[in-house]
Structure 1
Amino acid sequence: MHSTVAFLLTSLTLSTTAIVLPRDDVRLAVNPACGDYSSSSVKDVRGSLPDLKTFSTIVTFGDSYTDGGKHDGSPLGPAAINAPNPSAGGRHTNGPVWAEYLAQAHGATLKDYASTGAVVDVNQWPERSFPTSNDFLTQANNFISQRNLTDPDSTLYVVFFGIGDYVESLGKELPNSNFYIIIVLDVDHISSPDHNNSSLSLQTQHILYTINRLASSPIFGKNFLFIDNHGRGTETPAGLSFKSQIFKGMDSIQQLGLNTGFVDLSTMWDGVLSANSPGFKAFGYTSVEPCLVSSESTEGSCEDPEHAFYWFPGAPTTVTHKLISDYVQAVWDQC
């Protein structure tokens, strides 16, 4: 009888142990779509950018995907959740953002100016009340006014911006401020923008004009990376047109003597969200549904955010941010 009980207890113990074994970590299940600026379609391009280990400083501009909680280039606070607040140290996620992972991987100092809700130029959308008055123009002005005399050769500038402007141009309501696109057009016509025109074309000039400022005195920036994720798993003819124009503009900017690269995150987003191969399970995700129902509270959180794609609607979990960093590094390694 005693041996039978012992056997049953042992069996239960082994069974319980098997149930609680940890899942595999989330990982990249796609490779970059490498190419160069002569490609007929948009590709991931490292371009003329030097090795990532070259950069001792990474300066980032953007909105919630890149917002580390400080907005002024100062050291970021701990990426900790204080429930019921779902934002880890002011971040729009449950841990570090992708730029933190990228900087940490290469021992670089991160100077983050991104702010949740930012668009390229808030003055172009006077009918909208954005969550913040901070935009790309202001972020760049803040950086320049600080007289950040970083070494141009060892500083990487990253711009991850603007799908909010694209959505606004269509006259659609922006459900939240987690959207980005990098818009680059004809570098032969860089000029100070006219605020009376609210077209997307004008917003692209704002982008170019601001990059031109960052490449001029007193900053003299040399290295610029553009990241595009405007559709986040969906595409429209207008979106594809913008991405194609950006891609061509990157080539023109490089021809001006700057080092540029282009990262298209649609490969990753399509890979996760597609009903076909590879699909979210290949990445190690258990769900593509947001872990939280809103950005207001941790109440009702999913049980396993370490294997969730989105933290709350439209905002990636920190494990997804880690994959964004991994994808950027893969572009450097493979393209």
Structure 2
Amino acid sequence: MAGLSLSRAAVATLSVLSLGAALPTRQEAALANASALVVFGDSYTDNGNAYALTNDTWPADPAYFQGRFSNGPVWSEQLAQQKSLTLHDYAYASATTSNRISKGTTGSNADIRVPSLDEQVERYLARLPAPASQSILVLWGGTNDPLFNSTIAPQASAQVMRGLVHRLKSVSPAGMLIIGIPDLSLLPYGYFIDAEEQDRLHAFSVEYNIELSRIAKQAGAKYVDVSSLLQSFEYYGKGWQGVGLDAFGFYGSCLEGAYMEAPKRKCEDPEKRVYWDEYHVTRRVHELFAEKIAEVL
């Protein structure tokens, strides 16, 4: 049996190697110990800020859940609850990356200016609501840039995001996530625009997401590809049963007519739909977003 024994040095070496393999990285440890989720963005992330800004008048349809642009809590609320994190939500519906390059407005007449992501970040930095070292910071914006400015280049929006990432990295957060935008040409909104506009929105979405992925890699941040997630449901409903979803409705959304683009009606089972209205996803898909984002934390 002596031949099978290990020297003390060998045992010590193996112990160190085993311990090293089990130890989490510094970033993983910081994320695991985070206590706050701080989010910046637009209507996909807004948990009622724009609704309050419009004196509880927009969205106007009571089918929207408590001022969210969906039929239930958005992904950030669901993720914060799932991870037992305190949520600090700076997002506003209709927000762009910067009002300097694309002015975002909301309200029934689209005449109420909203804080863009760069303004949201400055508000956060002016008064940190929680220790940055215990906070996960998430940037999700750019969707509205080409909708409010038809000539904007994706590189211009990406340059704003690059600056915001740099600003936020300076406070040494526990972690940072950058979320890509959906392919805007595939939203139900695409039914109401011509082929040229669809091509423009598609090109912007693809090029902008490529830029965001690069920014995340360079900054050591995590990148979440929402566009691929949505397309993995197989557009127009093929194979969605795996996540409990059915095919699209007539206009691709559960709630039709919210923007007076069609006669008003609501589907019978929103839980089986991807899109709530022509721009926004349902509570169920926000849940899937939260699950996807949680995987990278």
TM-score, scaled to structure 2: 0.70
Amino acid at match of 1:300: R
What do the CA deviations read for 1:236-267 (whole angstroms, capped 9, x no partner)?
A: 4553333222222222212xxxxx10110122
SS of 1:210 mapped into structure 2: helix
Residue of structure 2 equivalent to 1:241: 207
Partner of 2:244: 284
Mapped pair 1:326 → 2:291? yes
The Cα offsets for residues 303-327 of structure 1, whole Å up to 9 and x where unpaired, read as: 1112221111121111110011111
How is 1:1-335 mapped onto 2 (pairs within 5 angstroms)? 49-50=27-28, 52-70=31-49, 84-125=61-102, 132-145=113-126, 147-148=127-128, 150-167=130-147, 170-171=150-151, 199-216=153-170, 219-231=171-183, 234=186, 236-254=202-220, 260-274=221-235, 279-288=239-248, 289-295=252-258, 300-332=265-297
Provide the rounded CA distance (Å) in 2 between the counterparts of 1:126 and 1:238: 17
Residue of structure 2 equivalent to 1:40: none
Equivalents in 1 of 2:73, 2:130: separation in Å?
A: 24
> What is the alpha-carbon root mean square deviation over aligned residues?
3.3
Alpha carbons of structure 1 residues 313 and 241: separation in structure 2 relative to 1, 3 Å: closer
CA distance in 1, matches of 2:202, 2:264: 35
Cα distance, 1:292 vs structure 2: 0.8
% identical equivalent positions: 24
SS at match of 1:250: helix
Contiguous gaps of at least 5 residues in structure 1: 1-46, 72-81, 172-197, 255-259
Give the length in aligned residue pairs. 242
**TM-score, L = length of structure 1:** 0.63
**2:12 alignment partner in structure 1:** none
**Cα–Cα, structure 1 residues 62 and 149, in superposed 2: closer, same or farther, change >3 Å?**
closer
**Structure 1 residues 299, 239: CA separation in 2 closer, same or farther (over 3 Å shift)?**
closer
Relative to structure 1, is the Cα distance of residues 131 and 285 closer, same or farther in structure 2, using a 3 angstrom cutoff?
A: farther
CA 1:296 to 1:238, structure 2 compared with 1: closer, same or farther past 3 Å? closer
Q: 1:130 to 1:118 in 2, by over 3 A?
A: farther
Pair 222,54 (structure 1): closer, same or farther in 2 beyond 3 Å: closer
Distance in 2, Cα, partners of 1:127 & 1:103: 27
User: Residues 78-136 of structure 1: CA distance to partner in whole angstroms, max 9, x if unpaired?
Assistant: xxxx9952221111011100011111111000000100000011122369876533101
The answer to whether the 8 Å contact 2:134/2:173 transfers is no
**Structure 1 residues 202, 88: CA separation in 2 closer, same or farther (over 3 Å shift)?**
same
Does structure 1 conserve the Cα–Cα contact (< 8 Å) formed by 2:255 and 2:264?
A: yes
User: Residue 168 of structure 2 aligns to which amino acid in structure 1?
Assistant: L
Deviation of residue 54 (structure 1)?
2.5
Change in Cα spacing, 1:102 to 1:233, as seen in structure 2 (3 Å) is farther
| Alpha-carbon distance in 1 for matches of 2:216, 2:223 | 7
For residues 28-67 of structure 1, what are the alpha-carbon distances to aligned partners after superposition, in whole Å with 9 as ceiling and x for unaligned? Answer: xxxxxxxxxxxxxxxxxxx985265432100000000000
Match of 1:183 in 2: none
Matches of 2:114 and 2:202, distance apart in 1 = 29
Question: What is the identity, as a one-letter code, of the residue corresponding to 1:228?
Answer: G
The AA in structure 2 aligned to 1:132 is R
Question: Closer, same or farther in 2 for the Cα pair 1:305/1:210, shift >3 Å?
Answer: same
Gaps of 5+ in 2: 1-24, 51-58, 187-200
> Which protein has greater RCO, CA pairs closer than 8 Å, 6+ apart?
1
